[in-house]
Amino acid sequence: MQPLSGPGAPNSLDHPPNLGNVPHADDRPLSPAQRTQLEKLIVKIMALSPAKSAEIWATLRHELGADNSNELLARHFQPAEQLLQNRLTLAQQSHASRQLLQQLTDLLPQGNNRLAVSDFIRQQFGHTVLSQLNPSQLQQVLNLLQTGGLTIPHPQQTTTSDRPLLPAEHQHLQQQVTKLSAATGEVPLKIWQTLFDLVGVKTNDPLPARHFQLLSQFLQVKVALSPQSAPTLHHLLAVLKQPADRQEQQQLSDYCHTRFNSGPHTPLTHTQINDVILQLFTRRLEKTGHNHPAHSEPMQPQPLLHALIAVLPPSLQSPLSKPLVLVTLLAVLALLLIWLF
């Protein structure tokens, strides 16, 4: 049968076919390729952050204004991809910052690095909070610290005080003494006696608070070196909380060379390294002007005859300075003169 034609035939333009059941391309669900692309981005985000897949999808639907009960549509793909890419970039930056921050945190306890880093970021970035630095700034600080580009300041000296140690300060020293005793087997009482002798305080007297930092650093160094089977001067200099200045380094080097015939990298016994540590902190105490030996005797006026003793070798000066020895010697000389003449 032929289709109707002529004036009475229906006009197809007046009655278009019903297309209401054919979905628009943008209203179709995500294609497998599109969904795979979004899932790849989500996997990368999860690898760099604690976020879970369900949480990322829920956040994505919320940001797109999509119904949580329905799947994303094709028209959501491009904005969804951009949102996930932005989130991935932030996760990568955060991961890089955490890694750099961890490396810096590992270096901060060494020497006086913490104060050096704090001073640097205050001068360069206007604050002292390490966690507020971006990856580029963290990398800059880490590079300077690793290459020695930061100025390592000496710890700030607090106002000296004659007050005795506070309970918290005494407890801090007690904990370090306990650590040192456990590491070396040395009796705690003997360690305490060493501290009293170092600052020139009688055992029954309270330790002045002005010596707290020095005593704390003294114990910290001994604890840090105790695991070393063959410590060296280089090891000692590396663990100092207050780095040694050039003069101190030269003095210690000369002392080791003269006393032990050793260099910076020569293995020393624990007795020898303890001797070097004591020398260092004794000199530091002298610099503060508060070294008062506990058993020092006041200088007595010396008779004119002692001027003759001063020209003798040091090994003879001490015995001859005692009155009884001196009188005996003079009597022997007088008898010799009488016998000769």
> Mean pLDDT, to the nearest integer, of 151-157?
55
What global pTM score does this model have? 0.42
Q: Give yes or no for a contact between 214 and 283, defined as CB atoms under 8 angstroms apart.
A: no
**pLDDT higher than 70, residue 338:** yes
> Mean pLDDT, to the nearest integer, of 211-235?
88
Write down the pLDDT at residue 43. Answer: 92
Q: Give yes or no for a contact between 161 and 210, defined as CB atoms under 8 angstroms apart.
A: yes
Write out the two tokens for 37. 């692309």
In whole angstroms, what is the distance from residue 222 CA to residue 273 CA?
A: 9
Write down the pLDDT at residue 127. Answer: 67
Write down the pLDDT at residue 134. Answer: 79
| End-to-end Cα, the chain, rounded Å | 174
Amino acid at 12: S
Write down the pLDDT at residue 69. Answer: 65
Write down the pLDDT at residue 308. Answer: 44
In whole angstroms, what is the distance from residue 226 CA to residue 183 CA?
A: 6
Choose among 21, 99, 69: nearest CA to 61: 69
Q: Give yes or no for a contact between 160 and 177, defined as CB atoms under 8 angstroms apart.
A: no
Write down the pLDDT at residue 241. Answer: 81
Q: Give yes or no for a contact between 312 and 320, defined as CB atoms under 8 angstroms apart.
A: yes
**pLDDT higher than 60, residue 242:** yes
Write down the pLDDT at residue 82. Answer: 92
**pLDDT higher than 60, residue 321:** no
What is the phi/psi pair of residue 63, to 5°? Answer: -65, -30
Higher pLDDT: 316 or 202? It is: 202
What would the 3-class secondary structure string for the chain be? CCCCCCCCCCCCCCCCCCCCCCCCHHHCECCHHHHHHHHHHHHHHHHHCCCCHHHHHHHHHHHHCCCCCCCCEHHHHHHHHHHHHHHHHHHHHHHHHHHHHHHHHHHCCCCCHHHHHHHHHHHHHCCCCHHHCCHHHHHHHHHHHHCCCCCCCCCCCCCCCCCECCHHHHHHHHHHHHHHHHHHCCCHHHHHHHHHHHHCCCCCCCCEHHHHHHHHHHHHHHHHHCCCCCCCHHHHHHHCCCCCCHHHHHHHHHHHHHHHCCCCCCCCCHHHHHHHHHHHHHHHHHHHCCCCCCCCCCCCCCCCCHHHHCCCCHHHHHHHCCHHHHHHHHHHHHHHHHHHC
Q: Give yes or no for a contact between 241 and 225, defined as CB atoms under 8 angstroms apart.
A: no
Q: Percent of the chain having pLDDT more than 70?
A: 73
Query: Mean pLDDT for the chain?
Result: 76
> Mean pLDDT, to the nearest integer, of 55-67?
85
Write down the pLDDT at residue 291. Answer: 52
In whole angstroms, what is the distance from residue 338 CA to residue 341 CA?
A: 5
Write down the pLDDT at residue 86. Answer: 92
**pLDDT higher than 50, residue 3:** no
Which of 170-174, 258-262, 272-276, 304-308 is the least confident region? Answer: 304-308
Bridge partners (DSSP) listed for residue 208 = 164
Amino acid at 181: S
Bridge partners (DSSP) listed for residue 164 = 208
Write down the pLDDT at residue 319. Answer: 52
pLDDT band, residue 300 (cuts 50/70/90): very low
How many other C-beta atoms lie within 10 A of the C-beta of residue 172? Answer: 16
